[in-house]
Amino acid sequence: MPKKFSTALFCFLVSSLLVCYAEVPRLQGRTMRYRISSRGFSVGDLKTTISPLQRAGGREVRFESNLDIAANLLFFKVSSTSHEEALLSDTGTLSYRRKGQENGRSTEVDAVLEGGMFRFKINDNGVARSVCLPRSSYDFTTMDCPETTMRHEGETMEVRLLNLEQGKIVSRRFHWVKSEELEVGGKRLHCRVVDFSDSDNNCRRWVSCDEGGIVIVRQDGKGKHGPYSLRMVSVS
């Protein structure tokens, strides 16, 4: 199960990206807004922006997110804010930055892929450390949606996943359970319903793919501070 709520939520965000590793959006940028709830009570909001960029060497996409959670319920107590930025290309995640606070503790992550190594500078509430991981040691990062590479309902897969928030590699298992439609802002989105788990997470995710890329429409899970549900409320 997730070690803390922010870790589970991170895996939703980038979990990162809301954009597939193999398919950088070909259209104009998107802004998506999400509502975060626990047992029917609204506890926070998330806004993400995806902006495609044209570079001399190919296409890239800039990802940005802002999270704000403030809950003081009997069954769910957490105060958390964070800002994340990432740069991706057709070959995967190029850089990642995060600044956040949770219940008074601050964290900062600054990571970049260079020279075949993902190099991390992490500051956890004043304690600094550095991590270097070879690109060959992982298949995807938490900014990717590896579940979109599965071909059939019922299929399972296991990948080496680089957790960008923590600077470590985990083994994540995926199961494409079924397909169904969800409605967002009057538009029906065809989604893959996928269960995934690793040493930190055990969640169910609804993922939709169209010509603009891949977006996470919903994710349900349970963390240290209680159960949560993240649902897209608008996309523009």
Confidence of residue 103 (pLDDT cuts 50, 70, 90): confident
Q: Where are the beta strands (DSSP E) in 6-91?
A: 30-38, 41-55, 58-73, 76-89
Distances from the Cα of 43 to the Cα of 36, 58, 96, 200, angstroms? 6, 40, 26, 22
pLDDT of 202-231, one tens digit each? 899 999 987 667 889 999 987 666 678 999
What number is the average pLDDT over the span 189-198? 94
pLDDT above 80: residue 124: yes
Any residues with CB less than 8 A from the CB of 234 and at least 6 apart, and which? 32, 33, 184, 185
- Counting the structural domains of the chain, the total is 1
**pLDDT grade for 90, boundaries at 50, 70 and 90:** confident
What are the distances in angstroms from CA 104 to CA 43, 101, 167, 232?
A: 17, 6, 21, 28
Please provide the average confidence, as pLDDT, over all residues in the chain.
Answer: 85
Q: What's the CA gap between 207 and 227, in Å, rounded?
A: 20
Contact 98, 111 (CB under 8 A): no
Q: Are 178 and 205 in contact (CB under 8 A)?
A: no
Q: Domain of residue 73: give its range.
A: 5-235
Q: Are 143 and 17 in contact (CB under 8 A)?
A: yes
Share of the chain above pLDDT 90, in %: 60
What is the average pLDDT across 69-98? 86
Give the pLDDT of residue 212.
Answer: 65
Least confident of 1-10, 48-57, 119-128, 192-201: 1-10
d(CA 40, CA 29): 31
User: How confident is the model over 19-36, as a mean pLDDT?
Assistant: 66
What span, in angstroms and rounded, lies between the C-alpha atoms of 205 and 14?
A: 12
Query: What is the structure's pLDDT at 158?
Result: 98
Nearest to 213, CA basis, from 4, 19, 56, 13: 19
